[in-house]
Structure 1
Amino acid sequence: MSGFQSEGSVTGRVYLDWNASAPLRPEAREALVAALDVVGNPSSVHAEGRAAKAVVERAREQVAVAVGAKPREVVFTSGATEAAGILRQVFPHGAVCVDDIAHDALWSHFDLTHAESGANVLAMGLANSETGAITEPPQRDADGFFPYGARRCSSLLLDVTQVVGRIPWAFAWSEASLAVLSAHKLGGPKGVGALIVREGLDIEPLSLGGGQELGRRSGTENVAGIAGFGAAIEAAMRDLDAGRWRAVAALRDRMEAGIADAAPETIFVGRDGARLPNTACFVTPGWKGETQVMQMDLAGFAVSAGSACSSGKVKASRVLTAMGYDDVAAASGLRVSLGPETRPEDVDRFTEVWAAAHARFRARAA
């Protein structure tokens, strides 16, 4: 059975922010360290270069198998955010229509300049990082377009960063033209990810230079990071097949039940719909999420008030606002995201500490 580095056993802290970044898997660490000793450049034709190229291509195969794609469809990048930059490359002169609750990596490309004539591409997350809510993409209409509100989009880009390794998904049976993901969300190293490009789709390069990655992203490959990515995603799929995330979902539900008992006024976002097995997002109106994060941090728990890319921004959550919550509620959300190494005692202790902090909050507000 695969595992992760255990922060709690070393520091006494409990890590409950897996949607921000998963702890490094031992398989990824081993592959990464081994690749650091591969001295060649993957673009070199000598034996050392071929050895480095073999490391990259093995990881490409591992990623392709995990996401249900062909190896030639996998482009290694520095992460999902860089991969999402393809929106500027593929459709530089057309509109990009982005789902309201998409991650900022996609939302930053929102452009309705050509809204009257329809958007060229719809970009959306398959699962929201803040709430865990799963959103099924629209089906193509009779003319082959993806309907989104009043607009019709010719192509679909999916952010599957929070999905891969947690719920079943395959690029091959999706209707997406493009997909993006990051290694560190599934126990790989930070700073590496992938863009998946449907075979036959002609794209402009993400970066110009030496023509690496079949000309789609120039620059010498991060061999060690890529090796760790491949090992991590392979191990993640083993965990998924073994049913480890079903156990995580049971722990998440146990935590939510305890919180609901302690604070009946708390709202659980997305609880009645499809969502990731590890994610709880709950709102206690008037108790700011950032305040809760700091209180829990001081008590030894790492949790979040939203997307890690938005940390430090004390404001209402754009995602919760888009879901219809008012500004007070949207600023009061807390995200707790678990993983396969989260223990029942971790969840129970968090629930107890959070409930005590909630009681103090209510006493002050009375």
Structure 2
Amino acid sequence: MSKPAVKLASLAFEIAADAAVPGEAHLLPVGPFRAADGRPEDCDAWLLDATIAASVIQRLRDRQNDTLIDYEHQSLRSEWNGQPVIAAGWFHDMQWRDGKGLYAVGVDWTKTAKQRITDKEYRYISAVFWYYSGTGEVLDVISVALTNTPAIDGLDDLDAGELATLTKRFSLPDPEHTDMATPQEELAALRVTHANTETAVAALTAERDTLKTQLAALTTERDTLTGELAALNKQINDTKAAAETQQKTDLITAALTDGRLAPALKPWAEKQSVAALTEYLETSGPLSITQRQAGDGHTVGTAALTAEQKAIADKMGVSEEEFLAAQKKHAR
């Protein structure tokens, strides 16, 4: 991604010559703005608004040392003219004021500077700033000075070595290789990010729809398997019930045949479970000939019950008379 060159420019505002020297100084106006001498030449105008100013102010606040106000920007020239840098004042903060621009605030003027301003020996405050040559956006204020020559001769025509020296002194990125993106580049990057986000959302939406389809298929398969399991369980239970019924029928038929079960007890036996009927038949012996004859149509006397008959009557919960009456009924 190509970067715009960063260049230097200067602008000056007149200082009020009142008896009391103000503790603030107007550095830059609201943008877009141009100098009276026709600058800038590499962009339509310099740009400065509240958003841009916030970055400029924060960059100054992040510096450890106070920002110097010198005379005639000697701090920029000392590398080449060898003259000392005399302080006119110091400040460590700036403010943005709507409709007016960027101000240095809390300025601590030296005694000599105050007197020179009061005596009108110096009438202007001049700010030198970095800006993007392609867009005019102000990047940083690097020098502030009292001056009587608002336009600094040669400042915009520094050679490569001088510009590199300033870059290092003020901890700024190399003007020709800066990594700071312009607003246009940031907007382009945001558009790419937005497009990538839309692509990711579309992919996630497609994946969601696929998962919903798979879930529906799995739900249908689950319901089918549940129905098949219910049918299989019913078949198993029906088969088990039929087997138990057949087993009970076989037990009753065998017991009637070998005399372990009197014909009168057949209805009772059919109501019992296989386990209960098996337990009963295992503890019952064959009936005497008298009881078996009752099932063959012979007459049953009124004699008392045998011990085996009595045991059967007790298990059935009936009296001896009821037991004998049942035998007579089924013997006819």
Larger Rg: 2
Whose helix fraction is larger, Structure 1's or Structure 2's? 2
Same fold by TM-score, threshold 0.5 exceeded?
Answer: no
Scaled by the length of structure 1, the TM-score of the pair is 0.19
Scaled by the length of structure 2, the TM-score of the pair is 0.20
